[in-house]
Amino acid sequence: MSSVTIRGIRKKYGSMDVLHGIDLDIRDQEFVVLVGPSGCGKSTLLRMIAGLESVSSGDIMIGERVVNDVPAKSRDIAMVFQNYALYPHMSVYENMSFSLRLRKQAKEMIDRKVREAASILNLTSYLERSPRQLSGGQRQRVAMGRALVRDAQVFLFDEPLSNLDAKLRVVMRTEIKALHQRLKTTSVYVTHDQIEAMTMADRIVVMNAGRIEQIGTPLQLYDTPANLFVADFIGSPSMNVLPGTLRAEGGAVWVEIADGLRLPVPAAHAARAGQKVVFGIRPEHTLLADAGSGIPLEVEVVEPTGANIQVYAKIGGAHLCAIFTDRHEFRPGDLIHLAFPEAKIHLFDAASGMRL
């Protein structure tokens, strides 16, 4: 097991820049998740670590070794592909043992390792089957098993769960995490599903358009998103964002949004009065308030999920989502009043999108 260090990595396809200088330190035994919208360059970065894409500039180090020019086969990494990439003409056993056979390891040793991995993954009774005869979840496990037998320095995952149905995805998510806690192999995991990222990661790397937006633990990203992009990307449903202007008068500080509505913010922001800002509040942090003190909103849509109620409402020309765990009988057209606790408020500069 070892660390992975990425220094100033760039990637060009022809004249098109796909990655614009990525710096990232992945510690030994860490589980890092790369997340971002489609096309932002996650797979490209992962494949560069794997040695499947050439490096346009910058350095990639696995442990102490710069691997830019080391071919994939000598990097001592294992990878699980989105479509599993199981060898269709080999049995499960042969798939899992392929890498060991290439390394000319002893037969008994290979057998022991394959059976060990198979028992961890509940594949023991499928070893003689061909990949065609397996379900999606089983194939996924075989792909994992192929990585597992290797004792590789680093595990790489490229959206390994995206071809599974929702239920199975949750199960496998937990299994992969449990596996990591047991093996402690340094892992880089690509997904565009932020819930997967939040639940699995030691640290999350949020990427957008070939750049890193923020690196941090799941809670850091949730509590203090560095900018509007991260704020919007992490959390589901997304954070409500309301553009407005910061005002201060006689000790009171507020953001004035369309229709002249005033949203109170912490007094610390008084110095920025007059600045164009974006006010952010997560749906789960909104509170119901009295008609006197709260901000008035008109209910548009009510969606009960069982566990909670999601309410979509109109506020000063914008729309806002609020989540309540208590049961309320709201109907479209109702007027409700909300309060936004100061500690949960996020403020961003409207021009740069950066957190204030």
**Contact residues for ligand ATP (CB under 6 A)?**
13, 16, 18, 36, 38-44, 192
Instruction: Give the residue with the Cβ less far from another protein, 103 or 182.
Output: 103
Q: Can you give the binding site for Mg ion, defined by CB under 5 A?
A: 43
User: How far is it, in rounded angstroms, from Cα 25 to Cα 179?
Assistant: 22
Where would I find the H helices in the chain?
42-50, 92-102, 107-120, 136-148, 166-183, 194-200, 218-223, 228-233
From the CB of 191, what's the least distance to ligand ATP, in Å?
8
Least spacing, CB of residue 193 vs ligand ATP, in Å:
10
Minimum CB distance to another protein, residue 172 (Å): 19
Residue 51 interacts, among Mg ion, ligand ATP, another protein, none and using kind-specific CB cut-offs from 5 to 8 Å, with: another protein
In the complex, least distance from residue 102 CB atom to another protein, rounded to whole angstroms: 5
List the single partner that 44 binds among ligand ATP, another protein, Mg ion, none, CB under 5 to 8 Å by kind.
ligand ATP
Q: Nearer to another protein by C-beta: 51 or 216?
A: 51
In the complex with Mg ion, the residue whose CB is nearer, 43 or 187, is 43
Q: Which does 71 bind (CB under 5 to 8 A by kind): ligand ATP, Mg ion, another protein, none?
A: another protein
Question: What distance in Å separates the CA atoms of residue 190 and residue 134, rounded to the nearest whole number?
Answer: 24
Query: Closest approach of Cβ 228 to Mg ion, in Å?
Result: 24
Residue 39 site contact among Mg ion, another protein, ligand ATP, none (CB < 5 to 8 Å, cut-off depends on kind):
ligand ATP
CA distance 324 to 272: 32
Q: How far apart are CA 290 and CA 213, in angstroms?
A: 39
Q: Where are the beta strands (DSSP E) in the chain?
A: 4-13, 16-26, 31-35, 57-62, 65-66, 77-80, 154-158, 186-191, 203-208, 211-216, 240-249, 252-256, 262-264, 276-281, 287-288, 295-304, 309-315, 318-324, 335-339, 346-349
